[in-house]
Amino acid sequence: MSESSQHPVVRAAQRGDVQMLLALLPAYPLKEWYKAAVWVAACNDHVPVIEVLCTVCKLNLNKNCNEFGWRPLWAAARYGSAAAAQLLVRAKADAKCVVGHRGHFTHKWPTAAMVAARYGHVHVLRALAQEGVDIHGWWGTATLQAAVEFGHTDVVEELLRADAKAEKDAENKPATKPVTKPATKPVTKPAKKPATKLAEKLEAAHTAASTGRCDILQRLVMAGVSVNSLTQYMRTLLHTAAIHDRANVVRWLVRAKADVNLQSYEGDGTAAHCAANCGHTSIVGTLVRAKVHVDTRDKQGRTLTIVAADHGQGRTVALLLRCKADVDLRDQRGRTPFTAELGYSVSLQRHNAGASEAW
């Protein structure tokens, strides 16, 4: 146990003993102990202790409280102390400040809102929003991305509700009058945009697809994300789910009318090509049943069988042969599944496919 945790001031703050804390303050004037005490009080949601430390000791809440660069507001967000978070914001704690040690980020979710989203503390996010804090993070999608990555559906719903409310308020807000400056053209103040843009929601949707969270993906689609939208890497949600072997997401997207024949602009082909490349045989079968042509080609002219053979995916090759794939088709380089450079010889698979039952 560390020296600071054994100190009487810190132990009184940990127990929430305000009377003992007030009695100890004159005996221990060094504020280093109070920084540790307010950290402990924020972790345990001891609001009266925080009030005493903020008013009597006049602590600077925007200085680091431990060697990792953490501050009391982040402690409240980490441990779900909503009342403590509200009090700290009212006491001028900087909610936009990032988690870091000596100026370097130590976490992927730097602000207090992102920390709360990462650990699923939706009540802390609501408390921060009530105090006027931007809970969407300092680059827009960070809070939503953290909630999706760790599967906190209630946090995702709260952020999407906040977005919908912001969008509705922006639509209902009356147009502002032009502001005229001397010797300049009239300048019209633009309406405030929602905190999370559609492209940022799409990024979160791909995270949900890669982690197999159909429930979160459904909420993001209802919030305006198209099932056929392309990312900055020019892939659809089907591509992402196929690459990460998320069969449940692929089935949900097929039911949601996603275009199974849409090709990536990066040359990956369709989602079926990605699944054949990775050897995700069940996903290839799902997509073929969803009307992907068994001999569909990518931009290099490769069929699903060539892609699977090129990467040694024997089970996928066997499935495609049972689906009557044409193994005599060639790609733009003149290769067949038999002559793929890293090839998996399909002659035995074709021989066995003739004796197997129909797929």
d(CA 53, CA 31): 10
**How many CB atoms neighbour CB 355 within 10 A?**
6
Element (H, E) at 105: strand 104-105
Residue whose token pair is 């050897």: 279
Neighbouring CB atoms inside 10 A of 52's CB total 21
Distances 85 to 46, 77, 195, 198 between C-alpha atoms, Å: 11, 7, 21, 29
pLDDT at 4: 59
User: What is the phi/psi pair of residue 314, to 5°?
Assistant: -65, -40
From the CA atom positions of the chain, what is the Rg in Å? 28
The segments of the chain whose pLDDT lies below 70 read 1-5, 30-32, 63-69, 97-110, 137-141, 173-196, 340-359
pTM value?
0.77
What is the model's pLDDT at position 123? Answer: 95
Q: Residue 358's CB: how many other CB atoms inside 10 A?
A: 7
- Using an 8 Å Cβ cutoff, are 207 and 238 in contact? no
Q: What is the pLDDT of residue 104?
A: 40
DSSP-derived secondary structure for 275-308: HHHHT-HHHHHHHHHTT--TT---TT---HHHHH
pLDDT at 325: 92
pLDDT given at position 222: 92
Per-residue pLDDT tens over the stretch 108-137: 556 888 889 989 999 999 999 999 888 876
Tens digit of each residue's pLDDT (9 = 90 or more) over 263-275? 887 777 999 999 9
Q: Considering the domain 293-359 in this protein, what is its CATH number?
A: 1.25.40.20
CA distance 63 to 61: 6
pLDDT of residue 213: 94
